Chain A
Amino acid sequence: MDTFLWVIVPYLCLATFVVGHFWRYRYDKFGWTTRSSQLYEDKLLRLGSPLFHFGMLGVVGGHIIGLLVPQSWTDALGISHEAYHVVAVTGGMIAGVMAVVGMVILIYRRRTVGPVFSATTVMDKVMYAFLAAVIVLGMWNTIAGSIMTIGGEYNYREGVSIWYRSFLAFSPDASLMADAPIGFQLHAMVAFGLFALWPFTRLVHVFSAPVGYLTRPYIVYRSRDDQLLGSHSPRRGWERTRV
């Protein structure tokens, strides 16, 4: 059972995540968009969206540090467990609260503003459910697990993080997750579900974060492609010859 939950399922989700993105990019570039609803409603979005997105950037950054940086590294730098804990929990709480508040505003907006609600797809709703569950469980782990230490103290850097790194290194150790508190288990499980859904939702827009904008020239010139004039490519056997 442990192997199924913490080896097979995660790898299946990871595979869906990777292959799904590849497939979607190949097959549905046109559908690859943020599908913004700002045109319909502005006031709530102006508040909720930056809160949520900047909060999530913080949350993701925190996860990268927490999961990928081994405890031995911070020990070697002479950072004590307590200091690390305080910084991590404080940063995590700020980012987490931003994300949660933003998410609540955005979900409220999506449900109550008519045009936005009618532009919401089934996939959106499923994705929202998973995303909200992941965030709420994560917050629960931070508040109940790390601050209030309900159910005993648990250092995820000696459990979940190591399992995650072993998972990424393709030599997963399922027992580490099996021993983790239920809150962490659920959080990880739902998160993997979200990863599996990812390529089929609007979340793909995360991967088109336009950092290239900072370096490209302002005006883009493009020539009609030699091979692809207009928008249709020549059929096989009719490609243009190159001189």
Chain B
Amino acid sequence: MRVMAQMAMVMNLDKCIGCHTCSVTCKQAWTNRTGTEYVWFNNVETRPGLGYPRTYEDQEEWQGGWKLNKRGRLTLKAGGRWKKLATIFSNPKLPSIEDYYEPWTYDYETLTNSPATDNFPVARPKSLISGKDMNIEWSANWDDDLGGSREHASRDVMLKGIEDKVKMEFEETFMFYLPRICEHCLNPSCAASCPSGAIYKREEDGIVLVDQDRCRGWRMCVSGCPYKKIYFNHRTGKAEKCTFCYPRIEVGIPTVCSETCVGRLRYIGLVLYDADKVLEAASVEDDHALYDAQRACFLDPEDPEVQRAADEAGIPYDWVEAAKRSPVWALINRYEVALPLHPEYRTMPMVWYIPPLSPVVDVIKDTGHDAEDHGNLFAAIEALRIPVEYLANLFTAGDPVPVDRVLRKLAAMRAYMRDINLGRDPDESIPAKVGMDGETMYDMFRLLAIAKYEDRYVIPSAHAEQAHALEELATECSLDFEGGPGMYGSGPFGEGSGRPVPVAVENFQMLRDRQTSDTLAAPEDKATRVNLLNWDGKGVPTGLFPPRPDAQAHEEPERGEH
């Protein structure tokens, strides 16, 4: 037994209202930079829908993740090491910018600088890739709320096999939202695909990160990840991915997406797992068995044997304690309501989901029946095969049984809690029908519905004796860094030159620059974005020459004359 700790997340899809706050705050915190305009570490997809990038789930097309070869051994779906190296000069399975979308900004300056005219001035969309005028044809959530679904949603890969049964009429279809971040897999195929070995899994908390100093831009990780959650920064030529907000996690605060989630649907906590079992579990032959196989890798923190092994593996005592209180562990193993996203990719993903009961509830409500009654709900789960099969395609490699079980639990909880809330005697037969007792069901209700902050996020901080040098806490004054808030600026050789700046400081600077600049998103005078070695010759990198205040002064009066 080799005990390792994994920081994991569970999202309760019933609560997601699709407001995109997580995406926006994540973008503001992490990818608010040139080169990452199209990068959404966190995105929210409407299902049925195409996802982002479009049809990323079609692994026959994109060849992401792992598969079993003829001898039953786990291999990368896109081919082994030799094939990777042979195709390194032109990655055959790299999504192009059209599969994401061409990022744009608006030429707002024409609005403020417009002379008095008969017609309203228009801010035209400008491509952030080529800088030219463009037509906006797609974006990160173009098919939001089933927009254009008649045209697009039928191409949803997960509808394969049930497409003739799903009604795409707007009033009749079911819909829910699926927020996605990097899965921080136990068996990450992105890391396995990286020729440079720049992507690594942190031993302490299992967060998967890209070492920006070792990434050489071979792009194999982008095609290797079946969730397409590694993005290529087209400006720096490096891969970037969701960091699980590790500077925040290290000091015990939740990720930005979780912290700002309006629906409070995200849970963060530790899961202990046996690293020796991962390969075996990922190599299980039957796709349907992968869900159970992955659960079998997880270790019960209450087990004294596990505690001893954790101690031997150097996992601190308070981390094991946190693993005991982990909401993620509870949702996955105690209540068994959380399911992994696409276990069939065999990457052992660690962001799990509680499938939504709401499509079923909505249907009952529309028919005028009592949508809180467990009899009605059970019957509806039985009858409404389409949502169940669709959810099974997402969460259990197509096996409807676990999805069915989870939905029944959620339905039972609704019915059971109604009695309690109305002051009636609780009907103990309801939890018994889904194999639970009343007390456990009540606990599950507390965790799912009340969901207090300290119950949703049980994040043991990294250790105090290391805190001196952690990213966010930095007991040293953060102004002390070379290029701290007071003295930031590109070094003489541009961005990225010199020693790395702590992430928090870097983002602080970028955000401030961005918010105080009144040019396009890629202003040519933005010193921090221009690397002399990669300088494209447009504009003058600030700091190289002294500023010319007179140039600005000349322009202004001319404009005023119009």
Contact = CB atoms under 8 A, between A and B. Distances in A.
B77 to A, nearest CB: 13
A45 B87 CA distance: 12
B218 A235 contact: no
Contacts of B502: 230-232
B469 A42 contact: no
B535 A123 contact: yes
A4 interface: no
A242 interface: no
B533 interface: yes
A210 B536 contact: no
Interface stretch (A27-35, A68-76, A188-196): A27-35
Contacts of A230: 247, 250, 469-471, 502-503
B89 A234 contact: no
B542 interface: no
Interface in B197-235: 197, 199-204, 211-219, 232, 234-235
A39 interface: yes
Interface in B471-498: 471, 476, 480-481, 493-498
A213 B201 contact: no
B195 A210 contact: yes
B38 to A, nearest CB: 9
Interface stretch (A85-93, A140-148, A165-173, A214-222): A214-222
Interface stretch (A111-119, A128-136, A177-185): A111-119
B97 A39 contact: yes
A210 B85 contact: yes
B252 to A, nearest CB: 15
Secondary structure at the A interface, as helix, strand, loop or mixed, is loop
Interface stretch (B21-29, B139-147, B184-192, B447-455): B184-192
Given A119-B536, A224-B466, A233-B499, A36 B237 contact: yes
B88 A210 contact: yes
A32 B216 contact: yes
Contact of A210 (B196, B236, B237, B503): B196
A27 B497 contact: yes
Interface in B149-191: 187-188, 191
A200 interface: yes
Contacts of B537: 121-122
B90 A28 contact: no
A31 B497 CA distance: 8
Most chain A CB atoms below 10 A, which of B81, B84, B499, B533: B533
Contacts of A41: 96
Most chain B CB atoms below 10 A, which of A29, A31, A238: A31
B475 to A, nearest CB: 10
A46 interface: yes
B498 A27 contact: yes
Contacts of B216: 32-34, 205, 208, 210
A175 interface: no
A173 B187 CA distance: 58
B121 interface: no
Interface stretch (B7-15, B128-136, B289-297, B412-420): B128-136
A229 interface: yes
A114 B236 contact: no
Contact of A200 (B196, B466, B481, B533): B533
Given A115-B130, A223-B204, A230-B469, A213 B92 contact: no
A122 B536 contact: yes
Contacts of B201: 219-222
Nearest to B238: A33
Most chain B CB atoms below 10 A, which of A41, A118, A233, A235: A118
A149 B390 CA distance: 72
Interface in A77-131: 114-115, 118-123
A154 interface: no
A21 interface: no
A121 B471 contact: no
B543 interface: no
Contacts of A202: 534
B521 interface: no
Contacts of B476: 235, 238
A40 interface: yes
Interface of A: 24, 27-42, 45-46, 49-50, 52-54, 114-115, 118-123, 200, 202, 205, 208, 210-214, 216, 218-224, 228-235, 238, 240
Interface of B: 81-82, 84-85, 87-92, 94, 96-97, 127, 129-132, 187-188, 191-192, 194-197, 199-204, 211-219, 232, 234-238, 247, 250, 462, 466, 468-471, 476, 480-481, 493-503, 531, 533-537
Given A27-B497, A115-B97, 7 more contacts: A42-B96, A54-B89, A208-B216, A220-B199, A221-B202, A231-B471, A232-B500
